[in-house]
A = this chain, B = another copy of it.
């Protein structure tokens, strides 16, 4: 195939254009615009939370969420927060910026989510919270984590950036955290290029979040008793995100179709694929992952290079947090082994799941993936 196949592509055939035009016609560009408000209210409700606050992106969502949690619960500096090691850097970085110490839990080999049996050994008298991340769109084992949190009196921060509309035992992801965060990055189920949202049912917390995201402006506008950030989301971004939210069901349906197709086409290869379901959830394939069998010499990096030559864009899996040079330099790492996260990085990558993929393209991709092992 001569055509380049991107790893993601959005479906923009809903009301995106209509709503953007409405922004221009009404003159509402800024963060106080009606699409921002509508998205905050309706997406919060959809996730069974009381309040929403739109922000610039998923990383910013974690920055303000964790800042507000620290503030409201009066966590001391250098309190500890448990985070999956197999994850993007955002949550751990937010901890550092908020003078908290991230502590990394290893992944589970089948689901790639946190290994819940590895959490308790990380808890100390400084631990204040656990960050649940639904890795690659498959829910974590939420009930197990909540049990541990309750036993040790810890708060749950739920990073659902990869799990819009996803459910754990029939309950929406984003409804479990004391705060929950989402990203609306281009490759997400709800995409507006750059964007994010924080949800909570705690009025004090949402007020703090709105305060920190708006440079800590007060009623006396320019008098500041704190430092925050500007991470307000524009009405333009919200207009597109809202249109995407309206057709989330259709997006998930297409993603599931792609996942099923790949499972059929790739069942013979010596690799583990994104699991179809667990006891508590069905995958909706934010991404479709391939983890090459341990015994094979082939690495993820080599596979990625080979597929790039076939015009197929892929992505490597996350590099474990407990191996990050920046955290090593900050002196926050311990000597606990997290072999699963390391293995997943060495052997894992993901293949295109763009919403505009045709059957022909899916078959082409699958063929080239099979060829890696031929």
A234 CB contact (under 8 Å) in B12, B21, B237: B237
Residues of A within 8 A of B (CB): 9-10, 12, 16-17, 20-21, 23-24, 27, 29-31, 33, 56-60, 88-90, 93, 96-97, 185-186, 191-195, 215-216, 220-227, 229-237, 240, 315-319, 324-326, 329, 345, 356
- The secondary structure that dominates the A interface is loop
Kindly report which residue of chain B lies nearest to residue A30, judged by CB atoms. B186
* 7 chain-A/chain-B pairs, Cβ below 8 angstroms: A21-B21, A31-B193, A58-B230, A89-B224, A93-B227, A194-B230, A237-B237
| Number of copies of chain A assembled together | 2
Kindly report which residue of chain B lies nearest to residue A8, judged by CB atoms. B30
| Complex contacts, A220 vs chain B, CB 8 Å | 319
A22–B367 alpha-carbon span in the complex (Å): 34
| Complex contacts, A329 vs chain B, CB 8 Å | 225
| Complex contacts, A89 vs chain B, CB 8 Å | 215-216, 222, 224, 227
Kindly report which residue of chain B lies nearest to residue A63, judged by CB atoms. B229
Interface centre among A89, A216, A230 (most CB of B within 10 A): A230
Shortest beta-carbon distance from A192 to chain B in Å: 6
Shortest beta-carbon distance from A218 to chain B in Å: 10
A224 CB contact (under 8 Å) in B27, B97, B186, B324: B324
A123–B327 alpha-carbon span in the complex (Å): 36
Are B186's CB and A230's CB within 8 A?
A: no
Are A56's CB and B191's CB within 8 A?
A: no
| Complex contacts, A233 vs chain B, CB 8 Å | 194
Shortest beta-carbon distance from A298 to chain B in Å: 18
Are A56's CB and B56's CB within 8 A?
A: yes
Kindly report which residue of chain B lies nearest to residue A223, judged by CB atoms. B319
Are A21's CB and B10's CB within 8 A?
A: no
Shortest beta-carbon distance from A321 to chain B in Å: 9
| Complex contacts, A17 vs chain B, CB 8 Å | 20-21, 24
List the 3 closest A-B pairs by CB distance, nearest first: A193-B234, A29-B193, A222-B319
Kindly report which residue of chain B lies nearest to residue A56, judged by CB atoms. B56
A33–B240 alpha-carbon span in the complex (Å): 16
Kindly report which residue of chain B lies nearest to residue A319, judged by CB atoms. B222
Are A192's CB and B29's CB within 8 A?
A: yes
Kindly report which residue of chain B lies nearest to residue A328, judged by CB atoms. B225
Kindly report which residue of chain B lies nearest to residue A17, judged by CB atoms. B24
Are A56's CB and B231's CB within 8 A?
A: yes
Are B231's CB and A326's CB within 8 A?
A: no
A90 CB contact (under 8 Å) in B10, B57, B230: B230
Shortest beta-carbon distance from A361 to chain B in Å: 15
A89–B12 alpha-carbon span in the complex (Å): 38
| Complex contacts, A31 vs chain B, CB 8 Å | 193-194
A183–B60 alpha-carbon span in the complex (Å): 18
Are A236's CB and B30's CB within 8 A?
A: no
